[in-house]
Structures are given as structure tokens and as C-alpha cells.
A and B are shown apart, each in its own frame.
Chain A
Amino acid sequence: MKRTAALRAVALGAAVAMIATACSSGSGSDDPTEGAGENVTLTWWHNSNTGAGKDYYDQLADEFESDNPGVTIEVSALQHEDMLTKLDAAFQTGDQPDIFMERGGGELKAHVAAGLVKDITDDAADTISALGGSVSGWTVEDRVYSLPFSMGVVGFWYNKSMFAQAGITEAPKTMDDLYAAVEALKGAGIEPISVGAGSAWPAAHYWYYFALRQCSQDTIATASQELEFTDPCWVKAGESLADLVAQEPFNTGFLGTEAQGTPESASGLLANRKVAMELAGHWEPGVMQGLTEDEQGLGEDTGWFPFPEVAGGEGDPAAQLGGGDAWACSNDAPDICVDFIEFMLSNDVQKGFAELDMGLPTLPSATAFVAAPELAQLLSYRNDAPYVQLYFDTQFGENIGGAMNEAIVSVFAGSGTPQGIVDATQAAADLEK
């Protein structure tokens, strides 16, 4: 029943699009595929709303317009949170822009089910094959709906001079190494790790990584498909987490600490040299720069190492947890929209994107242009990873992800159990079946 209504909505959307194109072209043609050469307006929302990034995107829009006469791109450069709020509202009314950002996973799945996103599998086939494995997070039932343009992985950001001060000479490779580092840091009077458990997701990343190390790729893929968390590896992930929490490595009051945004947040504590490390994504250097007075973040002291190996797990120790942003077209957007997002993933555009430090390019040929050494290091782990698992809360969608995160935080608080995480997740998943 749901399917029919969705199809009806799609048909209606397509009809509206046809009428809109026909009206705007004024030529009487009702074939939307004749995008090029006709007068078409594309609306584009993005979140590079300041500085060089904004200028770069404006310049790209101009470039595309001059290469495709008749195409006008209306750009809205929005602050990130504002963009998300506006997008949510737009999706609910079915009035989303032609070109927008998709984070993949369950969110995309919901948008696809509601018939809001264009299937670009065939139209963008070349770009999709150039991107390789990174499109997997934006694939629903073997159809691709977006082109990821930036993708990072989560790892430990640390303060090199604090590590030196505590006598730690090598970045931890296994959990035991990490525990030894925690002890050494405590011995030197340094709080080892900050975690924004108040925002839930930064704490949840630990469990995601333990699950990645404990569960095989197949188990995770099957769970994503069938929404069943029966494999014992999911409980083991929680047990690994409980072991970590028992080491008491976290900052004072971490249950109330926010992820980022203030000097007292988890990122702020690392940036202001109050703790030695934090588990965070590729955005961390940029976030830290905004939280220090000299806008340097940790500067020269910035270090990065991947999440350690966990003994006895079935998962690949090189698998990485990450996520990113992708360009998508609205289902009712003119077909030229797909040309535009392919243009956004062209080698030249991705190269410029990398050079301006706007993110971590997904096109393999453009990855060499990332300048910052820690980011280049992170990128090499991303590229060498057998697979990059999308953050579970994105993968499973807001509801299952939210239930999962909440239960993970309760293990951090000491009130929850490893089994409790699986139970809460399964209960939320059962509602989605």
C-alpha cells in the first residue's frame, strides 16, 4: 500500500516537474530530458556559507551555467544546522531543493521510500564507478541515489606534547596499548580522554568501533538488511565498551559534556589542552581551530591514530568507521541536475575542494591534494580500509540509531549493560520492520 502511494507521489512529482519545465522553457516542449539548451532553473542548497568555500561554490555554479546555456543555478549557502532544519521541513512538505546534501543510510532510505530522491544509478554510471566503494552508504536496494563528495573516518586525535610528557613514544595499536597510555597520562596528572557523552553520538562512536572489531562485515551487513541483532558479537561490543569505561579514562563530568561548540565541550577540552585525546571524525582540526583564541587549535601538537585493534574479534582490524556528505537530486528535478552533481564530482572540482581543505575528497584521483599531514594520514587509512562502515546511527536511521545511542550512554553512566544496548536497539528495529 505504501509503495502505491509513493509511486503516486512520484508520478505527481514527475508531472509537476514536467509542467514546470514546460512553462519555464516556454518552447512548448514537454520533454524534461531536453534540459540542456532549454531555460532551466536549479535550486542548490549547500553549507559552505563562509570564506573561500562559499566563493568556490559560487564560482562552480557560474562555470556550470556558462557551459550549459539556459541553465540558471539559484544557490543558497546556509549555515549547517539551519540547512538541516530547513531540509527536514522541506522534505516533509515535499518541497525540497533540486540539489541537496544527503548523509546516506537510514535517512536516505526514508527519503527514497517517500519518493523524494532521484535514482541516478544509470544516468551517473561513470561517476559512480569512478567513486568505487564509497557510494555503498548511498545505495538502497542496489540503486544509487547520491554521489558522496567528502568522506572521513573516525579516529583518535591527540596532543603530541602531552603524550611525550607522559612518556608515550608510540601511538597505541591495541586496546592494551591504549589502556597503558591512559595509565601513563593519569600518572602524569593529565586527564586522558574527553568524550561528549552529553551529545550521545560521540560516546556511541566507541561502541560502533567495538562492534566493527567484534563483528564480521557480513554480520553487520546482514543486520543492516534484516534488522536482527542476534549475533553474540553485538553483546561482545558492549563488553569491550564496559572494559574501557572501567578504566575511567574520561574527563570529569563527561556524561554532561557536549560534543563541540564551547571551550568546555569535548573538542574544546582537547583544543585547550585540558585532555590528551578524543575520538572524533575528520572535522576535528577545523572544530578545534574555532575553539581556541589564536584559531590554531592544537597546531603543531595535533596528532592522529586509528582506533586500536581489539583482541579476539571477528571484524577486520583495519575496517574504519566514518561517514560523509553526498550530492543528491530531488526526484522532481530536471535531468540536468544529474549533470551538475556529476560535474561536482569531476576531477578538477574535487581537486579544488581538497586544496581548499573543504573536506576529504572521495574521488581517488583527487585525494593526493589534501595538504594537512594528519588529514593525509587519516585519508590513507580510509583508502586502505577493507571497508568504511557508515556511523550506525546514520546507517540505521534516527529511530534505531537514537535508541542505540541512548543505551550506549547508559553503559558509560554505569546504569546500562551490554545486553541492554542490543535489547534497546532490537526493540526499536522491530518497529521498523
Chain B
Amino acid sequence: MAPALLLFAIFVVVPVVQAARFSVFRWNGLGPMENFVGLQNYVMALSDQIFQRSVTNNLTIAILSIAIQLPIGLLVALLLNRKFPGQTAMRVIVFVPYVLAEVVAGVIWKLLLQPQGGVNAFLETIGLDSFAKAWVGDPSVALWTVMGVLTWKYLGLAIVLLLAGLQGVPEELHEAASIDGASWWQSQRKITIPLLGPTIRTWAFLSMIGSLQLFDMVWILTRGGPDNATTTMATYLIRQGTERSQYGYASAVAIILFVISFILAGLFQAFVLNRDAGDDKPKQRRKKVSR
């Protein structure tokens, strides 16, 4: 236990405490930290419009990720769970984007999304010239473009997790249901999806935390631009903080990001995931809910 605690202290607690210490100074990284400014960095960050936009973007991405990926992921997982020729191959194919390194996927998409890139060329060939856009260069579409690429990248993870969850749904329940005259769709809706609950909630938790800390894909595709249209808290931290040598300010933003993630994770834990913790004692759980 002691070595584990020591490692945790060195690699987790110390950096967080350090960041908290930096965050109350104005410091450009050179020489000693002397200019103590109290909470000024926090006030500046919270009242900065671009930071507010970053938080909004993060929340938008978190909500949209779940709203888009869950129904599609569930549908594909249910389909892939039925036996059909080429099933294994299909499962591999849907998982490929997730396995691909984020940077590699980002660079490929960035090239495809250029004004003279593959996506627009494709749209022209199929006669949809009017839909051709500066996908990552137009502030009004850039966030949707990023959202699209993220969906492409992370849908595979949702599907694989849901497929794994489906393995835990006993076949007998479906048999019983079909004997009672339930259609395939009815038995999915009334049996499979409720039993997938814990898997869905765990996936949603991972997805939410990933969305809040989103950095790499946005950085590669847009660097938070154009005109801050796709800025996230993490890209804001790098652009406004470290790239401008404002290490105190960057640390304050990092602490805010940490607190927001911590609170949302805590709320999710308290209100959503705790339903799974009590699964073996269903009666107690019901009591808790009724109170």
C-alpha cells in the first residue's frame, strides 16, 4: 500500500498542488515566482469570453457525443450481435477508427477536410457541389466538423463496449420472450437495453470525461480555431497559457478544468453510476430512490 500511495503522491498530488501554487502568481516561467496576485488569474479566466466559449464547447461536445453515439452505437451493436456471414469482419471494421492513433486519424482528416481536399472532391463527384465547404476553416461549421470526426473516431468504442455488455444478456430471456410472442424489436427494447444499463452508464461516464478533457483531435484539426470556434478548455490552456508564457494563468485554467471535471464526475457517480453499485441489493436501492 505504501509504495502505491507514494507513487500517487509523486505523480498526482504533487503536480496538482504545484499547479494550485503557480495559479496564484503572475509568472512567465523565467526566474523566481514573486508576483503574487491571489485569485486574479481565476477571475480573469472565468470572465474571459473565450474561456466561457471553451466551457460551452466542452459541454456541447459532451452532450452531443452521448446523444449521437448512444443511439447509433446501440443500433449497430444490436445488429452486429445477430449471427450473419462476415460478422467478425464487420466487428473489426467498426473498431478500426478507435484503434488508429488519434494523431494519425487527425492528420488524415485534416487533409481530407481542406477546401481542395478529398471530402469536397467527393461531394463534387456525386453532384453535391453546393455542400462543399471550408470544413475546418469556417467558424460556423468547424465545431460540427470536429463533432463528426469525433463520432467517427469514438463510435467504435461504444459499439465494442455494448457488444461486450450484450454477451452478459442471457439467451434464455430472448427465447422465453419469443415463446410469449414478443417480436425481435420488443425483446431488444424490453430485455436487452435495460440489462445493458450498467454498460451504457459506464460508457457514458468515459465519454463525458473524454469530452471534457478533449485536446488532441481538436488541436490537430483546428488548433481551437478558426476564430476560437472549436476552442476547448484544454486547447485554451495551451494557447492562452503556455504559448503566451503565462504559466500562472495556465495553471489557474488547469485547476478550473480539474474542478469542473471533478464535480461532473462526482455528480455522475452520485446520480447515475450508483444505480449499478447496488444491483445485488435491489430492495435497498428502491428504498433509496423513494426517499
The chain A residue sitting closest to B138, CB to CB, is: A253
The chain B residue sitting closest to A401, CB to CB, is: B244
- Is B114's CB under 8 angstroms from A253's CB? yes
Instruction: Please count how many residues in chain A sit with their CB below 8 Å of the partner chain's CB atoms.
Output: 37
**CA distance in complex: A90, B62 (Å):** 38
Selecting from B2-10, B26-34, B89-97, the interface stretch reads: B26-34
Instruction: Please count how many residues in chain B sit with their CB below 8 Å of the partner chain's CB atoms.
Output: 33
B153 contacts the other chain (Cβ, under 8 Å)?
no
- Is A255's CB under 8 angstroms from B244's CB? no
Question: In B1-58, which residues have CB < 8 Å from any A CB?
Answer: 26, 28-32, 34-35, 50
Cβ distance A56 to chain B, nearest Cβ, rounded Å: 32
A9 contacts the other chain (Cβ, under 8 Å)?
yes
**CA distance in complex: A80, B111 (Å):** 24
The interface residues of chain B lying within 8 Å CB-to-CB of A91 are 29-30
B79-121 near A? 1/0 per residue, CB < 8 Å: 0000000000000000000000000000000010011110000
- Is B243's CB under 8 angstroms from A398's CB? yes
A50 contacts the other chain (Cβ, under 8 Å)?
no
B222 contacts the other chain (Cβ, under 8 Å)?
yes
Cβ distance A242 to chain B, nearest Cβ, rounded Å: 15
A76 contacts the other chain (Cβ, under 8 Å)?
no
A113 contacts the other chain (Cβ, under 8 Å)?
yes
- Is A255's CB under 8 angstroms from B138's CB? yes
Selecting from A35-43, A348-356, A369-377, A408-416, the interface stretch reads: A408-416
Cβ distance B72 to chain A, nearest Cβ, rounded Å: 27
The chain A residue sitting closest to B26, CB to CB, is: A431
**CA distance in complex: A252, B26 (Å):** 40
**CA distance in complex: A113, B227 (Å):** 33
**CA distance in complex: A88, B135 (Å):** 34
A238-252 near B? 1/0 per residue, CB < 8 Å: 000000000000011
The interface residues of chain B lying within 8 Å CB-to-CB of A114 are 30-31
B137 contacts the other chain (Cβ, under 8 Å)?
yes
The chain B residue sitting closest to A431, CB to CB, is: B26
The interface residues of chain A lying within 8 Å CB-to-CB of B222 are 198, 256
The interface residues of chain B lying within 8 Å CB-to-CB of A409 are 225-227
The chain A residue sitting closest to B227, CB to CB, is: A413
* Given known contacts A197-B226, A274-B116, A402-B244, A264 and B31 CB-to-CB distance under 8 angstroms: no
B70 contacts the other chain (Cβ, under 8 Å)?
no
The interface residues of chain A lying within 8 Å CB-to-CB of B243 are 398, 402
B261 contacts the other chain (Cβ, under 8 Å)?
no
**CA distance in complex: A399, B30 (Å):** 14
- Is B136's CB under 8 angstroms from A253's CB? yes
Cβ distance A224 to chain B, nearest Cβ, rounded Å: 18
The interface residues of chain A lying within 8 Å CB-to-CB of B29 are 88, 91-92
**CA distance in complex: A251, B138 (Å):** 12
The residue in A88, A255, A431 that gathers the most chain B C-beta atoms within 10 A of its C-beta is A255
A116 contacts the other chain (Cβ, under 8 Å)?
yes
B139 contacts the other chain (Cβ, under 8 Å)?
yes
- Is B28's CB under 8 angstroms from A198's CB? no
A6 contacts the other chain (Cβ, under 8 Å)?
yes
- Is B225's CB under 8 angstroms from A399's CB? no
* Given known contacts A91-B30, A92-B29, A264-B116, A253 and B227 CB-to-CB distance under 8 angstroms: no
Question: In B128-148, which residues have CB < 8 Å from any A CB?
Answer: 134-139, 142
Cβ distance A311 to chain B, nearest Cβ, rounded Å: 29
B246 contacts the other chain (Cβ, under 8 Å)?
yes
**CA distance in complex: A431, B249 (Å):** 12
Partner of B227, one of A88, A255, A403, A431: A255
The interface residues of chain B lying within 8 Å CB-to-CB of A88 are 29
The interface residues of chain B lying within 8 Å CB-to-CB of A6 are 31
- Is B136's CB under 8 angstroms from A256's CB? yes
* Given known contacts A110-B28, A255-B227, A256-B226, A1 and B34 CB-to-CB distance under 8 angstroms: yes
* Given known contacts A398-B243, A399-B246, A256 and B225 CB-to-CB distance under 8 angstroms: yes
Cβ distance B248 to chain A, nearest Cβ, rounded Å: 10
**CA distance in complex: A243, B179 (Å):** 75
- Is A253's CB under 8 angstroms from B244's CB? no
* Given known contacts A398-B245, A402-B244, A410-B227, A252 and B134 CB-to-CB distance under 8 angstroms: yes
B187 contacts the other chain (Cβ, under 8 Å)?
no
- Is B30's CB under 8 angstroms from A264's CB? no
B172-203 near A? 1/0 per residue, CB < 8 Å: 00000000000000000000000000000000
Cβ distance B210 to chain A, nearest Cβ, rounded Å: 24
**CA distance in complex: A274, B116 (Å):** 10
- Is A255's CB under 8 angstroms from B245's CB? no
- Is B111's CB under 8 angstroms from A264's CB? yes
- Is B137's CB under 8 angstroms from A2's CB? no
- Is B139's CB under 8 angstroms from A255's CB? yes
Question: In A1-60, which residues have CB < 8 Å from any B CB?
Answer: 1-2, 5-6, 9
The interface residues of chain A lying within 8 Å CB-to-CB of B240 are 402
The chain B residue sitting closest to A274, CB to CB, is: B116
- Is B226's CB under 8 angstroms from A413's CB? yes
Partner of A256, one of B137, B244, B246: B137
- Is A5's CB under 8 angstroms from B34's CB? yes
- Is A111's CB under 8 angstroms from B114's CB? no
A115 contacts the other chain (Cβ, under 8 Å)?
yes
Cβ distance A127 to chain B, nearest Cβ, rounded Å: 27
Question: In A75-133, which residues have CB < 8 Å from any B CB?
Answer: 88, 91-92, 110-111, 113-116
Question: In A220-266, which residues have CB < 8 Å from any B CB?
Answer: 251-257, 264
- Is A253's CB under 8 angstroms from B137's CB? yes
Question: In A182-240, which residues have CB < 8 Å from any B CB?
Answer: 197-198
The interface residues of chain B lying within 8 Å CB-to-CB of A5 are 31-32, 34
Cβ distance A188 to chain B, nearest Cβ, rounded Å: 19
**CA distance in complex: A115, B115 (Å):** 48
Leading 7 A-B pairs by shortest Cβ distance: A253-B134, A253-B137, A256-B137, A255-B226, A413-B227, A114-B31, A114-B30
Question: 19 interchain pairs (CB within 8 A)?
Answer: A2-B34, A5-B34, A9-B32, A91-B29, A113-B31, A198-B223, A253-B115, A253-B137, A253-B138, A255-B134, A255-B225, A256-B138, A264-B114, A264-B115, A398-B243, A402-B239, A406-B50, A413-B226, A415-B227
Query: With A9-B31, A253-B136 given, can you name 9 additional A-B contacts, CB distance below 8 Å?
Result: A114-B30, A197-B225, A198-B222, A198-B226, A253-B114, A253-B134, A255-B134, A399-B28, A413-B226
